[in-house]
Homo-oligomer: A and B are copies of this chain.
């Protein structure tokens, strides 16, 4: 077997695909990520399987669509029967660790029913989506719910940043003119520097912990999920990143008055959410987006530090690096804030894969426009590790052939992304029950079709309308496209992998063998 590479699986939270230098942002500084792209592959049509943290990540980690793994929204427990990249890589000899966020909600009832102690080593893995929780930090710690044991808070206190919740008071708050604490939860404060010095910020700390993990894992191949909370809200950056960008760097919102005509009911309901109302104001965008950009550049700078470290300890040449995000951020585009729906700002994600080894030399610096999905990473990692892909469970497709520049006879024709907005106020506005709030997007890379339960569909032509300003969901000229994509969705549903307890190879080997096992039915 070839030497197994280390796998550095980096995720930024809520990082829009187009907020990197290498993906076309006109002024953001992301030299480290750009360099990875310049000597790796930059997948320009990668889609998250769900544009919201929890279900997106469960798809990333399980290699399965949200419909299949069932954790359709934040805080929906992932059933104990779902396996993750940790389950697949550990038997191949890997140490599989987590530093940062997963948004995993443990299936307490499932564990209770099966008698698994959540505190046991097995229970911990089940609770952490198969990762060794070297440093679990979901990065969102309201004062009401902050854990007294949050490691980052202990760290901050050790550095002299005291309080019940220094995460909030220091790392995610600013200081007012009179020394008062101004919470970063409120976007009006986002032009100020976080109170914490940059070197003790959560992004810095997370990077340090990644280095600790790597240092301690010298003896075996490792897969590290380095999962930054930023640039996710609270949108507040430490100096000097807080004022590195200004209103001049803010791209005009991709939002037009035309869009508001004949609004889709679901879009309209989401436009009523606080984040949409606020991000529709220029004042908000001009205060938040520079901070958002600063957080991205800060993250990039720490990646530089991490890569330098890998080089220093001689691991860089045998470490494959994936840089991606769980979903994007509307930032006022389409009069919306946050994510959850399927416009490019929300559902498309950055996906840069850097394999330093010779087998990837053929593709260095390539932009690859083929459709990639979050679920492709698990089979890619399994192949990197030299394992067999369990194709009766995994729904993604290994990217290895693309990364190695192999001739690929046929690639996927469609990418799919799902939403379940039962938890959002939009459900009330739309008068839906909690099981009626499903929406699903399918795209062939040019046409993007969104099926909403109980409402009409949407259709966009990304070729003639890359800004998604013109909803063709009711355009009679596009009936054929809609029908084609609806049929593709139907085909997709029928092929979901739910028979996960027996492999295709085992089944193949059993075909026609009942008589041989003594079950002599149908014989005279």
Mark interface residues in A71-104 (1 if CB within 8 Å of B CB, else 0): 1110111111101000100000000000000000
Q: Looking at the complex, which one of B78, B337, B508 makes contact with A522 (CB distance below 8 Å)?
A: B337
- The answer to whether A71 and B423 touch (CB under 8 A), given A278-B524, A511-B428, is no
Chain B: minimal CB distance from A180 (Å): 18
Instruction: Assess the B109–A87 pair: CB atoms within 8 A.
Output: no
| Prevailing SS type, chain A contact patch | loop
Instruction: Assess the A107–B501 pair: CB atoms within 8 A.
Output: yes
How many angstroms between the C-alpha atoms of A94 and B140 in the bound complex? 44
Q: How many copies does the complex hold?
A: 2
Interface residues on chain A, number (Cβ under 8 Å): 93
Instruction: Assess the B425–A511 pair: CB atoms within 8 A.
Output: yes
Instruction: Assess the B114–A76 pair: CB atoms within 8 A.
Output: no
Instruction: Assess the A501–B142 pair: CB atoms within 8 A.
Output: no
Instruction: Assess the B427–A511 pair: CB atoms within 8 A.
Output: yes
Is A411 part of the contact surface with B, judged by Cβ < 8 Å? no
List of B residues within 8 angstroms of A451 by Cβ: 494
List of B residues within 8 angstroms of A144 by Cβ: 517-518
| Best-surrounded residue of A277, A338, A502 (most CB of chain B within 10 A) | A502
List of B residues within 8 angstroms of A517 by Cβ: 142, 144-145
Instruction: Assess the A188–B337 pair: CB atoms within 8 A.
Output: no
Instruction: Assess the B500–A434 pair: CB atoms within 8 A.
Output: no
Is A213 part of the contact surface with B, judged by Cβ < 8 Å? no
Instruction: Assess the B524–A435 pair: CB atoms within 8 A.
Output: no
Instruction: Assess the A499–B71 pair: CB atoms within 8 A.
Output: yes
Q: Looking at the complex, which one of B116, B185, B507 makes contact with A434 (CB distance below 8 Å)?
A: B507
Is A275 part of the contact surface with B, judged by Cβ < 8 Å? yes
- The answer to whether A511 and B424 touch (CB under 8 A), given A70-B500, A142-B520, A500-B79, is yes
Instruction: Assess the B274–A523 pair: CB atoms within 8 A.
Output: yes
> Which single residue of chain B is at the shortest CB-CB distance from A498?
B70
How many angstroms between the C-alpha atoms of A250 and B274 in the bound complex? 72
How many angstroms between the C-alpha atoms of A426 and B424 in the bound complex? 48
List of B residues within 8 angstroms of A78 by Cβ: 501
Instruction: Assess the A519–B76 pair: CB atoms within 8 A.
Output: no
Within 8 A of B (CB), among A111-126: 113-116, 120, 122, 126
List of B residues within 8 angstroms of A113 by Cβ: 83, 87
Instruction: Assess the A434–B511 pair: CB atoms within 8 A.
Output: yes
Chain B: minimal CB distance from A95 (Å): 18
Task: Rank and list the top 6 A-B pairs by shortest CB-CB distance, nearest first.
Answer: A142-B518, A275-B522, A81-B81, A493-B493, A185-B520, A434-B507
Interface residues of A (CB under 8 A from B): 67-73, 75-81, 83, 87, 107, 109-110, 113-116, 120, 122, 126, 140, 142-145, 183, 185-188, 233, 273-279, 281, 284, 337-338, 391-392, 420, 422-425, 427-428, 433-435, 438, 440, 451, 453, 486, 489-490, 493-502, 504, 507-508, 510-512, 514-515, 517-524
- List 9 other contacts, CB 8 Å, given A70-B498, A433-B508: A69-B498, A71-B499, A72-B498, A75-B510, A114-B122, A274-B521, A281-B524, A423-B512, A424-B511
- What are 10 A-B pairs at a CB distance below 8 A? A76-B501, A79-B501, A144-B518, A188-B524, A279-B522, A281-B524, A338-B522, A391-B435, A425-B511, A490-B490
